[in-house]
Amino acid sequence: MRTAVFSDLIGPEGVRIVDRPTPDPDAGEAVVDVEACSINHHDLWILEGDSAMVDGDDLPFVSGLDVAGVVRSVGDGVESVREGDRVVLCPNETCGRCRFCREGPENRCERFSLFHGGLAESARVDADRLISLPDSVDAVTAAALPTAYLTARHMLRQAAVSAGDLVFVPGATGGVGVASVQLADTLGARTIGTSSSAAKLDRLSALGLDHAVEGTDPETLREAVGAIGTPDAVLNHLGGAYTDVGLDLLRRGGRMVVCGRTAGNTSEIDVPDLFLGHKRVIGSTMGTQPELQGLVESVERGDLSPEIEATYPLEETAGAFAAMADREAVGKIVVTP
């Protein structure tokens, strides 16, 4: 089978297409013929050598979390899926033994990790992590859901967003940002989104964004967003300086949920503002398998249509990562083996 491997952690130039044997499933596993696999900044950070998960000793490495396709074969003891089923993978990997695996939510597992291996024609996965797809949900759409939209869904729940709330999404035109705006809209919440590009904000406005703010300078955004209103919640996938901006803008008792570090690993905050304002900062990673099932059902009902920027054949995986690194995309980039 053809596989896109990271042969060197130097950015898109490090991607190579190689042939590998098609895997066979062990007990409890399934092999999925991959029809679509979306890519994320998580993959790009690995490819650029900016992830503690992967180093030179792990090369060649196959990334790709968000797999959708058709079950090719199943191992002993698998009853949840069968050959020919159309499926999407929940990429969560959990220990099944800690208190969070027993009591939930599973994404707080003490040994939480993520599946990698979807950038190939076939992938061997834990069969219990597969969710059946209805006929109305195509593979490219399904592959957009597991990381960006699942992360955004869980963040909205962590922030207790409801109809009428004002939600601030800095960096709103990336994968998680777009998902946050679309899902907030389905809840009846209002959104403020920022981007460096007026053209990208125009596209996002067509997807449900209520207030668009062009710019990236944290101090400029602080003033512009404050002129619009006082957010009830901030969904922050950027980190860095935007954490302090989001905290400052929050209403008294407001909630900021942080899921990423695209703009920086560290943030400085005004601690008195945090406790005197009764504000909350909440860390969040991915979501749960039932939440992903709910997203599939939302697509089936027509309540949600994930935004797809572009699709690339497997042979052009390097180009897909180059497009992500250029930061010109609005929505998801999907590789289609």
Distance CA(292)–CA(137), nearest Å, equals 13
CA torsion sign for 220, 225, 231, 234 is negative
Q: Could you tell me if 304 and 174 are in contact, meaning their C-beta atoms sit under 8 angstroms apart?
A: no
Strands, E assignment, 122-195: 122-126, 130-132, 166-169, 190-195
Backbone φ and ψ for 212, nearest 5 degrees, come out as: -105, 135
**CA 205 to chain CA mean position, Å:** 20
Q: Which long-range contacts (CB under 8 A, 24 or more apart) does 266-271 make?
A: 266/239, 266/240, 267/239, 267/240, 267/241, 267/242, 267/243, 268/241, 268/243, 268/244, 269/243, 269/244, 270/244
Return per-residue pLDDT of the chain as tens, 337 residues. 999 999 999 999 999 999 999 999 999 999 999 999 999 999 999 999 999 889 999 999 999 999 999 999 999 999 999 999 999 999 999 999 999 999 999 999 999 999 999 999 999 999 999 999 999 999 999 999 999 999 999 999 999 999 999 999 999 998 999 999 999 999 999 999 999 999 999 999 999 999 999 999 999 999 999 999 999 999 999 999 999 999 999 999 999 999 999 888 999 999 999 999 999 999 999 999 999 999 999 999 999 999 999 999 999 999 999 999 998 889 999 999 9
Q: Are 234 and 256 in contact (CB under 8 A)?
A: yes
Between CA 43 and CA 54 the distance in angstroms is: 10
Domains annotated on the chain, with CATH? 2-144+307-336 (3.90.180.10), 148-283 (3.40.50.720)
Exposed (0-12), middle (13-18) or buried (19+): which is 276, by Cβ within 10 Å? exposed
Q: At what angle do helices 175-186 and 150-158 cross, to 10 degrees?
A: 60
- Give exposure, 33-67, as e/b (b: 16+ Cβ within 10 Å): bbbbbbbbbbbbbbbbeeeeebeeeeeebbbbbbb
Are β-strands 332-336 and 29-39 bridged in parallel, bridged antiparallel, or unpaired? antiparallel
Q: pTM for this one? A: 0.96
How many CB atoms lie under 10 A from the CB of residue 164?
A: 10
Per the structure block, which two tokens stand in for 28?
């409890």
